C-alpha cells in the first residue's frame, strides 16, 4: 500500500487507515477480543500502518485492544487517539480543560502500552475552554515527548486557525464521503492553505455507501444509527439514489460500491487518508482493494456532476447530540 503525508507535518501513514471504533462502540455489541485483535493485526499485515482510536470508544477499552494487538510492532505504526469528553463518555458532555487533557494522555499511554502518542486529537471543540489553552496543553505534551502531533476533529474554520497559530495542527478528522460533502465548502480549502492533512471518518457513509443497506435494514438496538435522522427508514428510502449511483459506477470499474467510495475520496487530494472500519475480515480485504482503484479525471467529473444532482435527506445527528457537530 502506498504512503501519504498528512499535510506538511511530516507525518507519513498508509493511504488507508483503520478506524477501530466499531470494534468496541457505536455499531452494536463489541467484537470479542480475539477476533478484534485478529482483524487489527490482519490490517497491519496488509499494509495499513495508521490506526485510529479514542478514549470515548468504550472508556479506554478500544485503546487497550489496540495496545494489545500492536504491542509487538509499535515502532512500525502510527496510532491516533482522542480526548475531549467528560468521564470518557460522549453522552456526558465536553471537557477539554488542560488537566483533563493531561489525564486522558496518561490513561491513553497506559492503555496503548506505549510511551508516546503519534497523533492526539481534540475529539470535539469545547466552547467552554479557549482553543488556545487546548493547543498550548498539547504543545507542552509534545515538548515532554508524550505526544508527537496535534490533531482536531469536527472543528470549524476559526477554531482551526486559532489552534494552528499556537501549535501546528497536523490533521483534521471529520466526516467526509459521497454521503456528506460539507467539508468541500470551507474546510478543505482551509486545510490546503495551512498544510493540514485530512482524515475522513465514516468514509462509507456509516455503511450506507456499501450497497448492503436499504430502507428495510434493521439495526441492533445498541447501534447509534437508530437515532440518526439520516438513517430513518424514510430517509434511507429517499437517499437510495446515491447508492444506486455508486453501484452503477462500481459495475463500470469491476469493483464494489465500497471500493468506489474509498477511491473517490483518495482522488480528492493527495493528503486525504480515509479510515474505514469493520469487524469482518472480508470487508477489510474489500476496503483495502479501494486503494488500488484509479478513477480518471473524466470519471471524477461525471461522478461529481451526478452527486451534485442528488438532494440528500436527513441531518447527520439528532438535536440531542448537538455536541457532536463541528464548531
Catalytic residue among 44, 57, 111, 121: 57
Rounded to 5°, the CA angle 162-165-171 comes to 85
Q: Which residues pair with 147 in a beta bridge?
A: 117
Residue 57 among the catalytic residues = yes
Measured CA to CA, the distance from residue 316 to residue 143 in angstroms comes to 37
The C-alpha cell at 236 is 434511507
Tell me how far the alpha carbon of residue 153 is from its chain's centroid.
Answer: 9
Q: Which residues pair with 272 in a beta bridge?
A: 198
DSSP 32: P
The C-alpha cell at 27 is 455499531
Place of cell 482510536: 53
Strands of the sheet containing 117-122, edge to edge, are 18-19, 50-52, 78-83, 117-122, 147-153, 169-175, 197-201
Measured CA to CA, the distance from residue 155 to residue 325 in angstroms comes to 8
Nearest to 83 by CA among 109, 99, 101, 60: 101
SS3 category, 187: helix
Whether residue 96 contacts residue 127, with contact meaning beta carbons closer than 8 Å, is answered with no
DSSP 31: P
Measured CA to CA, the distance from residue 224 to residue 160 in angstroms comes to 28
Place of cell 474509498: 262
Measured CA to CA, the distance from residue 273 to residue 146 in angstroms comes to 24
Q: List the catalytic residues.
A: 57
Amino acid at each position: 500500500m502506498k504512503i501519504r503525508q498528512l499535510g506538511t507535518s511530516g507525518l507519513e501513514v498508509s493511504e488507508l487507515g483503520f478506524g477501530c471504533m466499531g470494534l468496541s462502540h457505536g455499531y452494536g455489541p463489541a467484537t470479542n477480543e480475539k477476533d478484534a485483535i485478529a482483524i487489527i493485526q490482519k490490517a497491519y499485515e496488509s499494509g495499513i500502518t495508521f490506526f485510529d482510536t479514542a478514549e470515548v470508544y468504550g472508556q479506554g477499552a478500544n485503546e487497550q485492544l489496540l495496545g494489545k494487538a500492536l504491542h509487538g510492532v509499535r515502532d512500525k505504526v502510527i496510532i491516533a487517539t482522542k480526548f475531549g469528553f467528560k468521564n470518557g463518555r460522549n453522552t456526558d458532555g465536553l471537557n477539554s480543560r488542560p488537566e483533563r487533557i493531561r489525564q486522558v494522555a496518561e490513561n491513553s499511554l497506559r492503555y496503548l502500552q506505549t510511551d508516546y502518542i503519534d497523533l492526539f486529537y481534540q475529539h470535539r471543540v469545547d466552547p467552554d475552554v479557549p482553543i488556545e489553552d487546548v493547543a498550548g496543553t498539547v504543545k507542552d505534551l509534545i515538548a515532554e515527548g508524550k505526544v508527537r502531533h496535534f490533531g482536531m476533529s469536527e472543528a470549524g474554520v476559526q477554531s482551526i486557525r486559532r489552534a494552528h497559530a499556537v501549535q501546528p495542527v497536523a490533521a483534521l478528522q471529520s466526516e467526509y464521503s459521497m454521503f456528506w460533502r460539507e467539508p468541500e465548502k470551507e474546510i478543505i480549502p482551509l486545510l490546503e492553505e495551512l498544510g493540514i492533512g485530512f482524515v475522513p471518518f465514516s468514509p462509507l457513509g456509516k455503511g450506507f455507501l456499501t450497497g448492503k443497506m436499504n430502507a428495510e435494514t434493521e439495526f441492533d438496538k445498541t447501534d447509534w444509527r437508530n437515532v440518526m435522522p439520516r438513517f430513518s427508514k424514510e430517509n434511507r428510502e429517499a437517499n437510495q439514489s446515491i447508492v444506486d449511483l455508486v453501484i452503477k459506477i462500481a459495475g463500470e470499474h469491476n469493483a464494489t460500491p465500497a471500493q468506489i467510495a474509498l477511491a473517490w475520496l483518495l482522488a480528492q487530494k493527495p493528503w486525504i487518508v480515509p479510515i474505514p472500519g469493520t469487524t469482518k475480515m472480508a470487508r477489510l480485504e474489500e476496503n483495502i482493494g479501494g486503494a488500488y482503484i484509479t478513477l480518471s479525471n473524466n470519471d471524477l467529473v461525471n461522478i461529481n456532476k451526478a452527486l451534485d444532482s442528488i438532494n440528500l435527506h436527513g441531518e447527520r445527528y439528532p438535536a440531542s447530540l448537538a455536541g457532536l457537530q463541528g464548531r
